[in-house]
Structure 1
């Protein structure tokens, strides 16, 4: 499924360390993908699965930061998957790009090379907008990437639990006002939950949460100090700028 060159842009991420082609219109990678990557606790040699990978931004950013990971990018849209495959090649990053619905059954995942209990890390940025409060985009790809159904979160967490080895780590980004949904979805099979709230600035409520959980973990839930995208004057946070430039990670990314 080839897209005309006029339908895509070529953008630099991580301070130019990563070059990505992505659709000019519709769902585009941005802050959320890079923050997710910066929160992902991957180590060299880990099998890392990026669910709902889009054009590969988050997973490829992890591979660029960590180095030698065994990366799988799972994306239901064949056009985005094609761009992800191209992006992996352009950036000289080895990745298995798998066209598959995240909520497909275990047999479909196994047939695609993603057997149960095979991943060290699962990362995901599921569709998280509440359809009752979010005006859906007329672009079907953008709508599917942004708007959650009643079962989206539970279904994606279930898939992550199935894929992960014992003590494997799940990391995800979700809207901040859905924190109760996240904790409820993680009750079965996960523990050692860590939450990092993301605020636009010190005066605003959190807009996102980054969440790390361990399959079979038993440590108490931990709430980290907030990450502020901008300071009190509206100036971009220097630490966040460094993360966006690929010069550091977030506390959730520690081994």
Structure 2
């Protein structure tokens, strides 16, 4: 049994609908996880896997919006996994928490019940900083959560593809300047892509992309109008506040 660390903060997400404990230092949950949840489509009864779940933010936010999903939170760090488990219990959300490296083989996944062709939906916020361009944090947990190798995204997409059923949906968030890497990783086994650029400020290049991909999908790729987080005065836009507070979803969620 892993003891949950004691140097924690309790932070409100979704306008107070979700209260999560997280470490005061190191990697901390933020807007990316909530945007990922708001971009993820699922229905009651679906089997949903959150890869690299951290303290559970994205998966638990999705479960708060869509009741009755069968949620599994996969996290490599036992300490963060313990926090995810505690956060699920504190918010009365049913979730299985698995301590597992996303790059592990199929046998390791199956040992935790994550067998091939078993998931309806996978969401993930992989480490995406290029170690050649971004100075890694001396905090090992923060470094693991943020810094990618050349194979990171391909390995994570491969794990998602293996778990998803035919026509199952993968939703991911990635850095915008790495969109070519995301498209390359998704070119094998996925189609029907929908891509949403996310801009920090109006008139500035996108900083993130949210991508919805269907296993075996064949529909043409859709590039959606960009989401502007802040207006010209650097004030969060009303539509973004609604998303972050759980009152709206992103257009990647099909009606």
Give the alignment's TM-score, normalised by structure 1. Answer: 0.98
Q: How far, CA to CA, are the matches of 2:142 and 2:129 in structure 1?
A: 12
> Whole-Å Cα distance in 2 between the matches of residues 173 and 85 of structure 1?
23
What does residue range 173-188 of structure 1 map to in structure 2 within 5 Å?
173-188=173-188
Equivalent-residue separation in structure 2 for 1:65 and 1:171 (angstroms): 16
Residue 38 in 1 paired to residue 76 in 2? no
Length, aligned pairs only: 254
Task: Quote the Cα distance in structure 2 between the aligned partners of 1:214 and 1:105.
Answer: 22
Q: Does 1:134 align with 2:128?
A: no
Instruction: Output the aligned Cα RMSD.
Output: 0.8
Please tell me whether the aligned partners of residues 169 and 215 of structure 2 are also in contact (alpha carbons under 8 angstroms). yes
Deviations 1:79-104 (A, max 9, x none): 00000000000000000000000001
CA shift, 1:233, in A, is 2.1
Other-structure match for 1:29? 29
Q: Which residue of 1 aligns with 2:85?
A: 85
Alpha-carbon distance, 1:238 to partner: 0.4
Structure 1 distance, partners of 2:29, 2:51, is 14
Could you say which residue in structure 2 is the equivalent of 1:228?
A: 228
Distance 2:254 2:64 in 1: 16
Q: Distance in 2 between matches of 1:187 and 1:4?
A: 40
Partner residue in 2 for 1:245: 245
What's the counterpart of residue 3 of structure 2?
2
Give the distance between the partners of 2:198 and 2:25, measured in 1 at CA: 26
In the TM superposition, what are the counterparts of 1:44-83 in structure 2 within 5 Å?
44-83=44-83
Structure-2 residue corresponding to 1:168:
168
Which residue does 1:199 correspond to in 2? 199
For structure 1, list consecutive stretches of 5 or more residues without a partner in the other structure: none
Q: Is the 8 A contact 2:5 2:23 kept in 1?
A: no
Q: SS of the counterpart of 1:194?
A: strand
Task: Give the conservation status (yes or no) of the 8 Å contact 2:47–2:69.
Answer: yes
Query: Cα deviation per residue 1:198-217 (whole Å; 9 max; x = unaligned)?
Result: 00111110000000000000
- Deviation of residue 231 (structure 1)? 1.1
Distance 1:3 1:95 in 2: 17
Q: Distance in 1 between matches of 2:134 and 2:202?
A: 25
Tell me, what secondary structure is at the counterpart of 1:12? strand
> Could you list the runs of 4 or more consecutive aligned residues of structure 1 that deviate by over 6 angstroms after TM superposition?
none
Give 1:4 shift: 4.3
Give me the TM-score of the superposition, normalised by structure 2: 0.98
Mapped partners of 2:46, 2:162: distance in 1: 17
Q: Which whole-Å CA distance do the structure 2 matches of 1:24 and 1:77 have between them?
A: 16
Tell me what 1:96 maps to. 96
Quote how far apart the aligned CAs of 1:2 are: 2.0
Deviates more, 1:234-243 or 1:70-79: 234-243
In structure 1, C-alpha distance between the alignment counterparts of 2:117 and 2:203, rounded to whole Å? 42
Distance 1:3 1:37 in 2: 25
